[in-house]
Structure 1
Amino acid sequence: MDTSSAIENIQVRSQEAIRLLKKLIETQSFSKEEDRTASLIEEFFTQKNIPFHRKKNNIWAYNLHFDAGKPTLLLNSHHDTVKPNKSWTLNPFEALVRDGKLFGLGSNDAGGCLVSLMAAFSHFYDRNDLTYNIVIAATAEEEISGKEGLEIVIPELPYIAFAIVGEPTDMQLAVAEKGLLVLDCTAKGKSGHAAREEGDNAIYKALKDIDWISNYQFLKVSPTLGPVKMSVTIINAGTQHNVVPDICTFTIDVRATDQYTLEEIIEVIQANIQSEVNARSIRLRPSSIPMDHPIVKAGLSMGREAYGSPTTSDQALLDCPSLKMGPGHSGRSHSADEFIYLHEIEEGITQYIQMLEEVMNK
């Protein structure tokens, strides 16, 4: 394909992607309520004669010349959204274009990423010279870390050699992502009358543990993600002013790095505080990809920068090297009057294709 034809091809795919994104914006898709946007994605593949699979509200498809003897790469992003906050001044379900911006709920997080990845997949779909198979997965429930999104698709897929997860990163390379560990802790004392020297105040016990949590620093620091971060975010105790509380509960938000497993972090905490510690889940693990991986090197060769992401995405559910990257800016996510620049979508499609072309040529 000559240069002019390649440019025209990208422009056509960009226009298709923007049309799809407008439809997605105008279709409510709160987490667990993504059935109608899943149908829109089905329609997109049907119009292109691309066979697809559906499980719950998740849609995935394979390249035409899938070869079980080749490694497979996964392109993934989500089509669920958070609920709009009260600060919106525009209609969150109207795809409004103004000053080169496309406004609407989910435009930036992560609709722009999803349609750009779908455009890149379509570009490679019928190629018979690929060194990797490609599977695209448009998944649900990412915003709530739900269990009926990417997690139920993974068992249906072949072994994944590496993945690109579409989230707004300004098309920079998030080569690592912190994991999330939520711990519910219980300090136990003994109730008594507050006016007398009775009881064993559970709040005071909890405060000693919280003091340790606020001051402790894990020894190993990740070169890309920095230190493990612990924050006590909820505390509850007491029933009335004159009763010494026998129970105090508190919650720790732990942002884990690739230097520790979640189990190791729990073990350290349990060994240093008196309160009982219970993990809500150990599903959302830290993620990373080597700096010398071909997809990272492809991005770096295009002048993109690598960094560690403090936020958590569906990348945490993948047990393979994964890169988080997509058009749009993270700071616009979940904000009032959310938007993405139209040029960001075209640039995102272009960069996805160029990076994948470089990997395919290795």
Structure 2
Amino acid sequence: MKKELTIEAIQLLKRLIATPSFSKEEGNTAELIAQFLIKHGVAIHRDLHNVWAFNKYYDSNKPTILLNSHHDTVRPNKDYTRDPFQAEIIDGKLYGLGSNDAGGCLVSLLATFVYFYEQKELRYNICLAATAEEEISGTEGLESVIPKLGTLDFAIVGEPTQMHLAVAERGLMVLDCVAKGRSGHAARNEGENAILNAIEDIAWFSTYQFPKVSEEFGPIKMSVTMIQAGTQHNVVPASCDFVVDVRVTDAYTNEEVLEIVKQQVSCEVNARSTRLKPSSIAKDHPVVQAGIQLGRATYGSPTTSDQALLDIPSLKCGPGDSARSHTADEFVYVSEIEEGISLYIEMLNQIVK
């Protein structure tokens, strides 16, 4: 069964590649995913461009594992030398937009879900969610589906990690800051220069070290990336706007970091959003231990995924290589998909049986 599912998964990935699925335009790939599952007798649920399902013998008294990956893609960049929608296997590489990020992961999780779908007396329920809008951190993808899935105990999020175990992922906050002053004529000793006030806070952002340091990532990183002030050369500016990019580690929540910042600086601080949270899973968690026993390494992932939307322990793991994501002439090795399906099944077998 595993061999047949692997062949079908690769064929499905070819069809997905050939079907444009830019973020917010994933309706056709959602249909392909739905038909794949229906073909295997799976009772599916759909909303917007999201497809999800539960194992056949779902038991509300049992804990539930979420298997999640996305089927939207970025737009192809100008450096492509191949047709991004032409799925071709050459020298063991399956080329095409979304093949690596995250098509290989998605079809591997779909095959894994089907493998377990009709099995009885599992210790865990298994929920599959193939979701939209990951590439734009949209609100109509996984975020809109989570309330419909019931209680979830932990998740495997399919992103290209070479099937190693990303046990932590940085969160992201963008802070809009406004330093205040008082306008005046630049030639006279008038006004209070908001730029000078901003410099004091910018220096703090550049040097402050949060007390708690992540085992996986080290310290939180804050970078001032944009600044705007003044209207003309002879007017002391009354305000100075600047933007701070904050990469939050699993040592803090976004809300905790925001509160510390507000206590330490004199400028006004507003977070555009706190929804892209840092995430982690304990190294002694059964799914992590299962992966370690299969020879997989643990690490902290610097990239952001739909894992940031989950409030449960979550492991990022999947076939492919993150370094290939969003690159021209994107590809995934067929052997990576074959290995991915086998390893997903072996990991889950250690947990659900």
TM-score by shorter chain over 0.5? yes
Question: In the alignment, which residue of structure 2 is the partner of 1:178?
Answer: 170
Where do residues 161-172 of structure 1 align in structure 2 (5 Å cutoff)?
161-172=153-164
- List structure 1 segments (4+ residues) > 6 angstroms apart after TM superposition: none
From 259, 267, 288, the counterpart of 2:280: 288
Residue in structure 1 matched with residue 343 of structure 2 by the alignment = 351
Instruction: Give the counterpart letter for 1:254 in structure 2.
Output: V
Secondary structure at the counterpart of residue 253 of structure 1? strand
- Give CA-to-partner distance per residue, 1:201-257, whole Å, 9 cap, x none: 222222221111111111111112221111112222223333332221111111111
Alignment of 1:2-81 (within 5 A): 9-81=1-73
Query: Please, which of 192, 217, 229 is the counterpart of residue 225 of structure 1?
Result: 217
How far does residue 96 in structure 1 lie from its aligned partner after superposition? 2.3
Equivalent residues of 1:237, 1:247 under 8 A apart: yes
SS at match of 1:89: coil
SS in 1 for 2:304: coil
Bigger drift between 93-102 and 49-58 goes to 93-102
Shift of 1:72: 0.8
Equivalence for 1:3: none
State the shift of 1:57 in Å: 0.7
Q: Distance between the aligned counterparts of 2:39 and 2:266, measured in 1?
A: 60
Specify the alignment match of 2:295 in structure 1: 303
The equivalent of 1:266 in structure 2 is 258
Deviations 1:37-68, CA, capped at 9 Å, x for gaps = 11111111122221100111110011111111
256-265 vs 189-198, which moves further? 189-198
Q: Give the one of 115, 120, 124 matched to 1:123.
A: 115
| Residue aligning to 1:5 | none
Q: Secondary structure of 2:224's match?
A: strand
Q: Are the equivalent residues in 2 in contact too, given 1:10–1:346 (CA < 8 A)?
A: no
Q: Provide TM-score, normalisation by structure 1.
A: 0.94
Deviations 1:232-284 (A, max 9, x none): 12222223333332221111111111221222211211122221000111111
How do residues 138-157 of structure 1 correspond to structure 2 at under 5 angstroms?
138-157=130-149
Mapped partners of 1:63, 1:245: distance in 2: 62
Q: Secondary structure at the match of 1:69?
A: coil
What's the CA shift for 1:148? 0.8
- CA distance, structure 2, for counterparts of residue 241 and residue 85 of structure 1: 40
Task: Report the CA distance between 1:333 and its aligned residue.
Answer: 0.8
Letter in 2 for 1:158: G
Measured against aligned partners, the alpha-carbon deviations of 1:142-188 in whole angstroms (never above 9, x if no partner) come to: 11111111111111112111110001101000111111111111112
Task: Using the aligned pairs only, state the percent identity.
Answer: 63
Q: 1: distance between equivalents of 2:173 and 2:92?
A: 39
**Aligned Cα RMSD in Å?**
1.3
State whether structure 2 residue 210 is matched by structure 1 residue 211: no
Structure 2 distance, partners of 1:307, 1:12, is 32
Task: Report the CA distance between 1:11 and its aligned residue.
Answer: 2.5
Q: How does 1:81-96 map to 2 (within 5 A)?
A: 81-96=73-88
What is the number of residues matched between the two proteins? 353
Q: Relative to structure 1, is the Cα distance of residues 347 and 267 closer, same or farther in structure 2, using a 3 angstrom cutoff?
A: same
Q: Which residue of 2 aligns with 1:318?
A: 310
Gap runs ≥5 in structure 1: 1-8
